[in-house]
Amino acid sequence: MIEKIDKRVRAAQFRQRLSRAMEDTGVSQSGLARHIGVDRSTVSQLLTDEGARLPNAHVVGSCASALGVSADWLLSLSDRPESAAELLASSLTMTEAPRALVDERIFQWHQEAAGYKIRYVPATLPDMLKTRAILEWEYAPHLGRTADQAIGASEDRLSWMRSAQSDYEIAMPLYEIRSFALGTGYYEGLPLPVRLEQIDHLLDLSEQHYPRLRIYLFDAKRLYSAPVTIFGPLLCVFYAGSHYMAFRDRDRIEVFSRHFDTLIREAEMTARRFPEYLRGLRDEIAKG
């Protein structure tokens, strides 16, 4: 709900913000008058009139356009001076997502959010928790000679997670980890020894780094989530296959943070029980 502001207060704020915008942009009264098509005396009156009257919409809009700010900000309807187009451009960005692990943008986002909780719904098993054998099986066909470099990048991210002051919460569909263990679906053809090694690796990481690393499993028949990473209050990034879609506006980040809260709250397998579930899967496939 928009807070009601007394007419005199709004008029005073308009004068203050108009003066500030002119100072920030180096525009004089004469220059602004030329830009908006009025006499210099009219601009002088806009800046000095002590009454409660505001200029008409055309004048406000022309001033906003000339000074590169939003009309809503001049009228105290917004605390952000940027125009709507600028706000949209800064709050939503699209970044190419190559089929590779060498992606400095991802690493930069993690570094930017150091000290904040990082919450993650991966598309498959989390890259930074995969063994080298899994990474080679999954990415070598796409990366060719750059596979070693890409795998090194994944290992660097795991090292960063171990040393950074960020907590990591990872939520995955329960079927994802089971499909991996059984070598079905996406993981069809993955040799049993490689799967067993990966399970042991996950067990080691989840036990060594708990509670700073917490892995939850949710039931995809009841809950759904697209692949997404929420970097504290700073950034929310969706993985759309060929591109990342990144939001920086507070409202959207809060919405998707609440979505992640639901995944955790209604998880079939909590972070405390995750190692127990993994051991059960390991026993099942080792005997089978």
Tens-digit pLDDT profile for residues 221-259: 999 999 999 999 989 999 888 888 888 888 889 999 999
pLDDT tens column, 64-122: 888 888 888 888 887 766 554 554 455 657 677 665 554 567 778 888 888 899 999 99
From first CA to last CA, the distance across the chain in angstroms is: 61
Radius of gyration of the chain (CA): 27
For position 206, what pLDDT does the model report? 92
Distance between CA atoms of residues 240 and 256, nearest Å = 16
260: exposed, middle or buried (Cβ count in 10 Å: 0-12, 13-18, 19+): buried
CA–centroid distance for 90 within its chain: 13
The position carrying tokens 């939503």 is: 92
Q: Identify the band that residue 1 occupies on the pLDDT scale cut at 50, 70 and 90.
A: very low
8 A C-beta contact, residue 209 and residue 217: no
pTM tops 0.75: no
8 A C-beta contact, residue 130 and residue 154: yes
Which of 1-10, 66-75, 120-129, 265-274 shows the highest mean pLDDT? 265-274
